[in-house]
Chains A and B, each alone.
Chain A
Amino acid sequence: MATVTYDEATRVYPGADVASVDKLNIDIQDGEFLVLVGPSGSGKSTALRMLAGLEEVNEGRILIGDRDVTNLSPKDRDVAMVFQNYALYPHMTVADNMGFALKIAGVPKSEIRSRVVEAAKILDLEPFLDRKPKALSGGQRQRVAMGRAIVRSPQVFLMDEPLSNLDAKLRVQTRTQIASLQRRLGVTTVYVTHDQVEAMTMGDRVAVLKDGLLQQLDTPRRMYDHPNNVFVAGFIGSPAMNLLEVPVTEGGVKLGSIVHPVKRDPLAKTGDKVIVGIRPEDLTPASEGGIPVEVDVVEELGADAYVYGRTDVGGESDKQIVARVDGRQVPDKGQTIHFVPKGEGDHLHLFDPESGERLGD
């Protein structure tokens, strides 16, 4: 068990002009579950592979504990990885797959067996130890891949989208299992995913990457409540936050026909326009006044419903808006509803239209 430090770590692929991972700085604490999340091409997998030693670090350093592992080969780093496609050895039994690393390390056979059986117990794999991966279901294969990592009791677990090949139901189930297993074992874990729900539900902290640059590193709660910029605001949360470019007026921002009050300080830093971010659950229907929304689609989820509609706001026409409404009072398609933000602007996020950075706290 150990801390992990990315210190200005940079990876430029040969022949590429732009760095895939650009001066990444992350301090991961001992036993922490850190999730790297971002859209495809954001460099999250590359960052993980740099830590694994599968990808060269062109600049900067990577430390595991106090050890500088930047130039160490993967086998000398004491890390175990779970791959997206599991990468099980197809010609070996489950037990051999899990014990392969120990066998190479020269651990006595009896000890390998006992450690494999112990890991198999944790993962409910005991009946399958003598099977080949071919004879296992997707979920079982995923657990073997996990088992292969656990058996080694490494300093760091690396997981590269380990759930993306499972069906939706199993994914949700396994998500919880992995998170609780990690808490139980207390091994520092770096987890890569493109799914922001996984990021929010599993991580102690979440790092959002885009184009190789770290956008924000925070707890899921803080990430949701205080996105650092427009990208994080739009990426974290499902359905995504509404981002509207609206005029700044005396005393607040103009949302359709009303002026919504916001604090003066943040607005002082921007010009006559500002990007307002409102989460779907922070919008509420009003009898009149506010943002007029023409309803396109209503997604009913039982308790709640999401209203997808279009509006003309701040000079933009047909801008899509998502709002959460009571599942028992659902509007009809084609109907026009007025929405206003809930409360006094404390759930409103303000961003600079030029830089996209957050204004205020």
Chain B
Amino acid sequence: MSAVPTKTPQPGAMPQEKGKRDRGELGILISSHIVLIAWSLIVVLPLLWTVFSSAKTTGEIFSGPFTMPHDIIGTLKDNFSSAWNDSHLGRYLLNTVIVVGIALALVMALGSMCAYTLARFPFPGSRAIYYLILAGNTFPIFLAIVPLFFVLKNVGLLNSLPGLILTYVAFAFPFTVFFLYPFFRALPAEIGEAAELDGAGDWRTFVQVMLPMARPGIAAVAIFNFLGLWNQFLLPVALNTNEKNYVLSQGMANFASSAGYEVNFGALFAGVVITVIPVLIVYIIFQRQLQGSLSAGTIK
């Protein structure tokens, strides 16, 4: 064994080399943290500014955009009650929660079932169906607006929440299937067979065995769909023109445009905060699942 030539470092050279490596690592550590800090500031500062501005009057905002608010509690109360009551944001928030909540539940249920079936049960035409759904991803929603308008009008669902829910489900469905398909495909076949031998039917295998195993993927696509649908603007503007049924994004746009030059900016920022908070809450709840989705591939 001693005949094998190896590059043995001279004694004393080791610590020096190690020190060099440490310095290199330290450099990477520092520069990466600088980038991360800068990035965090870019993301966090506008949010903080929005929150602060929601505690100022319009006059305060214009006279000193970056000063601290004078009367935090009082102005905050005024702005939020003005946004909530006068601009009907409370109503719009409820509409949004109903529409996005039901649409999300429907699209996750239908999408996961569809992806599971396509991924695990080959049948004639299954590939064609899969590619058709993939094609749905590439279809620009702008082109569908006018036909969608007439379809909803003909079935009598135009300007109604159920109509918007249906549209959202169809809108989010292709991506959901596209995203979940590889998750179900990657699950080991033996686990399905083990469930079969244990006496589980197809439905129980799906709900109690396969679905929990695909949870990271489901959480990821659920949060993605939630954000997309929560912030959806184009579809409701075109298909939901009844002011009573407005969703938050419409309400905010209406708020900013209807008052002309007399916009109550303090209340507008309060409205933005109301819009953002539910998203933050959902994200915090799902955050752990999302982290799971990143490491799921390493678990055997």
Contact = CB atoms under 8 A, between A and B. Distances in A.
A34 interface: no
A75 B193 contact: no
A52 B198 contact: no
Interface of A: 52-54, 73-75, 79-81, 83-85, 87-91, 100-101, 104-105, 134, 148, 152
Interface in B143-197: 188, 190-191, 193-197
Task: Tell me the interface secondary structure of chain B in the complex.
Answer: helix
Contacts of A83: 190, 193-194
Given A87-B188, A87-B190, A134-B299, A104 B213 contact: no
B194 A104 contact: no
A74 B190 contact: no
8 contacts: A52-B197, A75-B196, A81-B193, A83-B193, A83-B194, A89-B212, A91-B212, A104-B198
A245 to B, nearest CB: 42
Nearest to A73: B196
Nearest to B212: A91
Contacts of B193: 52, 54, 74, 81, 83, 87
A74 B197 CA distance: 5
Interface residues of B, number: 18
B199 interface: yes
B209 interface: yes
B274 interface: no
A91 B215 contact: yes
B197 A75 contact: yes
B199 A81 contact: no
Most buried by B among A84, A88, A100, A134: A100
A75 B198 contact: yes
Contacts of B196: 53-54, 73-75
Interface in B211-242: 212-213, 215
A85 B197 contact: no
A152 B191 CA distance: 17
Contacts of B213: 89-91
Contacts of A90: 213, 299
A52 B212 CA distance: 25
B70 interface: no
A346 B200 CA distance: 56
A89 B196 CA distance: 12
A100 B190 contact: no
B204 interface: yes
A52 B194 CA distance: 10
B191 A104 contact: no
A107 to B, nearest CB: 11
B204 to A, nearest CB: 7
A73 B198 CA distance: 11
A100 B215 CA distance: 19
B204 A81 contact: no
B183 to A, nearest CB: 13
Contacts of B195: 89, 100
A95 B299 CA distance: 20
A225 B229 CA distance: 74
Nearest to A54: B193
Contacts of A75: 196-201
A53 B193 CA distance: 10
Contacts of A104: 198-200, 204
B200 A81 contact: no
B299 A81 contact: no
A89 B200 CA distance: 13
A52 B193 CA distance: 10
Which has the most chain A C-beta neighbours within 10 Å: B194, B195, B200? B194
B199 A101 contact: yes
Contacts of B188: 85, 87
B13 to A, nearest CB: 38
Residue from B195, B197, B204 with most neighbouring chain A CB atoms (10 Å): B197
B206 to A, nearest CB: 13
Nearest to B193: A54
B201 to A, nearest CB: 8
